[in-house]
Structure 1
């Protein structure tokens, strides 16, 4: 079968179209989508960067080392919580007050496995030891970002209401004290058939 014929068959079956992010609200469902993650990340980072804790970091010589801890997806939606945490930590880093470590991570982040691979090369005669980091060079995190995303469904007459709660907490790892926390709520209403 030729490429032209296969291409024609795909287009004939409805094809696929690209949608600009700004126009994609037209195709929303009751599930969590791009716009919901953007809003949850944007509202949370606005709250964090405007908080008293972050204001107290003004004039700090070194940025605070941040690790992403567990962020639990307690919804019926299947998505990686890293979609949310990476948007938030990117803005945190861009503020100049935080730096992200990839040496420690919970379910909301990802650990860079190359850190262990490089360190396991210590003493290997096949590896030039000049580039292998010596022991004691990994910097421990000072702060931990954790959270939970909760979903609550309610039937309202012939429609379905879905409430999403994006809960985030920033913890000082030395003291165990919460230095910031926030909740962003997103509420959607639609026909039961449009739920997922």
Structure 2
């Protein structure tokens, strides 16, 4: 058997092995059966939902006139002070999506802290003002970006405690909404997610 045929046979075996590895798709509800002591999709979803409900039921929101334009919101720093490696934007974008759907907020992508991201195309498109290859009538004029009125910031904290042969892990999701003009806090909330497992469980 020549070398070319051997390689083809080897690749075919790898392909068939991969196909029979037992990997399958899970419905998001069914995936709760396979949770760990660390943070997962359901924890982020729960923390986001609870924080949004707290915000939308707050006195600040109830006092916002529906006749006024939506408040412009920027995502500021959200510190991940846990042993989990995840992007905090997973949390903030779920929250700001529901905030926008309420009709009382709109999100700016012109500026953000560590808890969000900016759209690089905003600045890149404005660099076209210096490039004669672009029709200058189609380039964005100066002074059109809208500055944020509110800032969403937060911190996620993890605390591990041994309880006999078990390990308890507390996660604190702390979020704050600040009026940028005055610096005053208009809303803040804390969501706690508590898990317990074997001391052998690893929470990172």
Instruction: Output the TM-score relative to the length of structure 2.
Output: 0.92
Structure 1 residue 195, shift from structure 2 partner: 2.4
The Cα offsets for residues 137-163 of structure 1, whole Å up to 9 and x where unpaired, read as: 111000000000000000111111000
Equivalent residue pairs, number: 195
RMSD: 1.2
Structure 1 residue 7, shift from structure 2 partner: 2.5
* Stretch of structure 1 that moved more, 52-61 or 98-107: 52-61
Dislocated runs of 4+, deviation >4 Å: none
Computing the radius of gyration from Cα coordinates, the structure with the larger value is 2
Q: Report if aligned partners of 2:66, 2:104 keep a CA contact under 8 Å in 1.
A: no
Q: Report if aligned partners of 1:123, 1:129 keep a CA contact under 8 Å in 2.
A: no
CA distance in 2, matches of 1:148, 1:115: 28
Q: 2:68 aligns with which of 28, 49, 61?
A: 61
**Structure 1 alignment gaps of length 5 or more:** none
Q: 1:149 aligns with which of 128, 146, 156?
A: 156
**Match of 2:111, SS?**
strand
**Structure 2 alignment gaps of length 5 or more:** 1-7
Are residues 1:99 and 2:74 paired? no
**Match of 2:14, SS?**
helix
Are residues 1:77 and 2:69 paired? no
Q: 1:159 aligns with which of 160, 166, 190?
A: 166
CA distance in 1, matches of 2:66, 2:91: 28
Q: 1:132 aligns with which of 114, 130, 139?
A: 139
Question: Which residue number corresponds to residue 19 of structure 1?
Answer: 26
